[in-house]
Structure 1
Amino acid sequence: MSEMQVQPWSAGTWTTPPVAVTEDGPDLLVTAAQGSDAWRHTSYGFVHDDAHALLAPLPSPGAVEVTFDLGWDGQFDQAGLVLRADAETWLKAGVEFSDGSPQVGAVVTLGRSDWSVAPVPGWAGRRVTVRASRAGDAVTVRARVDDEPFRLVRLAYLPPDVAVQAGPYCCAPTRPGLVVRFRRWATGPADTALH
């Protein structure tokens, strides 16, 4: 992967402010509001646009990485990264706790949301890095745990002519008290390989 530049937490602006935000050394501790989520229409019939995303402009081509500790087990608790153009054009990728296990996946929203996931029970209690690389009309999403190799999560379409902001996010659709420890937020050049 290309050389990444660590971003200060102060570089971003919250889409929806969390319940609490605390800097702990280099880490950022974020407490999510109960009921916070990001989703549009598909299957569930609702629109939620109040996930806590800390975003700054991301050039295209360009890449963003977010690292966090996977230390939660509440239904639909989630954290990762977001690329957002507007309320109807965005991508979130990371780990969500669902059906009794951590699931690595992505939601791509172009008017309506979709969702792809894969169980990663061995990631519980470990450090996760999610990476999204945007070039042309494609976003390549990869993730890894600790220092293991990145694995491909998703190759998704995003309109090439829209400007996006990107950065870490979390939300807690079903419960209060989710606290996510974000370890790192970095940006840099887009990947040279799609997968």
Structure 2
Amino acid sequence: MTQIRTDWDKGTWMNSPLSARVEGDHLKVIAEKGRDFWKKTLYGFEFEDGPALLAEWDPNSAVEVSFQLNTFNELYDQAGIMMYHGPEQWIKTGIEFNDGIPQLAVVVTDGYSDWSLCPVPDWAGEEVTLRASIMKDAVIIRARTENHPWRTLRVARFPYESGNQAGPYTCAPKRDGFEVTFTRWSFTEPDQDLHVDPPVKGAFV
């Protein structure tokens, strides 16, 4: 499987972070306190001001984002992939710190947001990879670390054949100074089957 590593400067910020700097192959991002993505459900408020570095997403490819988990320690610290079609239709997925532990989180929004969580306390301090791959009218969302195999988090409706963007995002709704080190962003071959894990390693070009 060939993975095309995306240069950080190929993306465009949807809402700039407090700071972003490239160090070697990595991108270090500091999120501004109070910014997030959410629409209406339960809380009533609407946010679409979190920083997301986006590029065009061909539905015939999967997108992967990797980052280090060693700085997540306060409520709602989060980072992962933003899949964006428009202000009413988007999905964010990644790690979100909640109830004192890291959790795999997915927020699916189609006018209203929903939120799912899965605790992964044994992933603390590792490098995490999130993956999203469109199949028919849905997106398959998976995650792994260097020490834990792929797990499927969600199959969510995402029927848009064009106008999609995807890339790394991070938010810190509750605190100042949250910095995430993103280690990789790539577009690669899509999933072939819901029940077959994608390869973990491939050649970068």
The TM-score normalised by the length of structure 2 is 0.92
CA offset digits 1:80-134 (Å, max 9, x no partner)? 0011011110011100001111000211101100011100001111100000001
Alignment of 1:136 onto 2:132: no
- What is aligned with 1:15? 14
Alpha-carbon distance, 1:65 to partner: 0.2
CA apart distance, 1:162:
4.5
Matches of 2:151 and 2:176, distance apart in 1: 31
- Cα deviation digits, residues 48-87 of structure 1 (max 9, x gap): 0011100000011221000000121110010000110111
Structure 1: how far apart are the matches of 2:45 and 2:60? Answer: 32
2:72 is the alignment partner of 1:100: no
Moved >4 Å (runs of 4+): none
Counterpart in 2 of 1:60?
59
CA contact (8 A) 1:77 1:97 kept: yes
User: Partner of 2:36 in structure 1?
Assistant: 37
Structure 2, unaligned runs of 5 or more = 196-205
CA distance in 1, matches of 2:170, 2:11: 14
- 2:9 is paired with a residue whose SS is helix
2:203 matched to which residue of 1?
A: none
CA distance in 2, matches of 1:138, 1:61: 12
TM-score (norm 1): 0.96
Residue 194 of structure 1 deviates from its aligned partner by: 1.6
Shift of 1:159: 2.2
2:194 alignment partner in structure 1: 194
Aligned to 2:159: 159
Which shows bigger deviation, 144-153 or 167-176? 144-153
Distance 2:161 2:144 in 1: 29
Amino acid at match of 2:21: T
> Is this contact kept in 1: 2:58–2:162, CA < 8 A?
no
Q: Distance in 1 between matches of 2:117 and 2:15?
A: 25
The percent identity for this pair of structures is 45
My pick for the range that moved more, 109-118 or 144-153, is: 144-153
Which whole-Å CA distance do the structure 2 matches of 1:99 and 1:187 have between them? Answer: 32
Indicate the RMSD between aligned Cα atoms, in angstroms: 1.0
Tell me the number of residue pairs that the alignment of Structure 1 and Structure 2 aligns: 194
Asked if the contact 1:35–1:173 (Cα under 8 Å) also holds between the matched residues in 2, the reply is yes
What letter matches 2:45 in structure 1? F
Pair 62,185 (structure 1): closer, same or farther in 2 beyond 3 Å: same
Aligned position for 2:81 = 81
Distance in 2, matches of 1:135 and 1:163, equals: 16
What residue number does 1:175 align with?
175
Residue identity in the other structure for 1:114: D
